[in-house]
Amino acid sequence: MQVSLTIIRYPKVFIPFAFIAMAIHRLPLWLNQKIGFYKLMGCGKNGTFDKKPDLQQWAILTTRAETVADGPNTNVVKLLHGSFIWGWLHFFNCETFTILLAPFEGHGLWDGKKVFGEFREKSAYNGLMATLTRATIRINKLKYFWENVAPVAAKMSQAKGFISSVGIGEVPWIKQATFSIWETTTDMKAFAYGMKEHADVIKKTRQQNWYTEEMFVRFKITGYHGTIKGINPLQDRLL
C-alpha cells in the first residue's frame, strides 16, 4: 500500500477557492478507482493540534494499492489526485508538498475502518519515519483535551530528532490529527513515552475516555516532492 499526504498552500487572495475545493474535490477523488481511501482536511497554524486554522493551508490524504512511480521529474500531484485537482491547484498558483509513505506499524481505526490495511503493531525499523496521531474527541471532553494536549504538542518541535510537523483535521476542534516527521523511531518514542507530561496526557485519555475513535500509525518515507512556505523539510534526507 502507498499512502500520500499533500499539503497545499493557497495565496491569500485565493482563500475562498480553498473552501470551494473542499467541496468539489471530493468528486474526482471518489471517482478515482485507484484510490482506496481519501480525506480532504484543513490545517492548523502551529504544526500540530491547534484551535486556530491556517486558512491558506489544506491537505489531501490518500491510500492506493498500486505504487505511483516516483522520480525527480514526476508530476506526483497529477498522478496521485488526477488532472482536475492538479489543474485547479496550478491555476490558483498553489504551493504543494507531497510525501509518499509506507505504513509499517500502528493501531486504531479511521471512520471505523482499518484504512491503512493490516500491519503488525511492532517493528524493528529505526530509520527516517513519520507518524500520524488522530482522534475524534468527545464533545463533553473538548475542554480537557485542549487544556492538556495543546501545551504538550507545542513542545514537540524542541524534541531530539524532530524534523517537521503539520496539524490536520476533518472537523475543527473535534476531529484532529498531527502528522510529524522524525530522524529515527527511537527519537519519536523518546518524545512520545519519555516526556513525563506527554505520558501523563496519554494516561488521562485512557482514564477519562476522551475519544470516540483514535489512531496511531508509523510510516517509512519513500519519497517527497515540492515545498511548503518555500522549504522542503526533507531536502537531501533520502538518498
Task: Report domain extents, the chain.
Answer: 2-226
CA 227 vs. chain centroid, Å, equals 15
**φ and ψ at 61, to 5 degrees?**
-115, 135
Q: Supply φ then ψ for residue 137, to 5 degrees.
A: -90, 135
Give the tens place of pLDDT for each residue, 105-157: 998 999 999 999 887 667 788 889 999 999 898 888 888 787 777 777 777 88
Which amino acid belongs to residue 117? G
Place of cell 489543474: 87
Contact predicate 188/180, CB 8 Å: yes
Please provide the CATH number assigned to the domain covering 2-226: 3.30.70.100
Cβ(46)–Cβ(154) below 8 Å: yes
Query: What pTM value is reported for the model?
Result: 0.91
Residue 99 clears pLDDT 70, i.e. is over it: yes
Residue 194 reports pLDDT greater than 60 = yes
Give mean pLDDT, residues 189-216. Answer: 81
Cell numbers for 107 = 493501531
Question: By the 8 A CB rule, do 221 and 129 touch?
Answer: yes
Q: Which residue has the higher pLDDT, 52 or 60?
A: 60
Provide the pLDDT confidence category of residue 59 given band limits of 50, 70 and 90: very high
Give the pLDDT band (50/70/90) at residue 73: low
Q: Say if CB 19 and CB 113 are below 8 A apart.
A: no
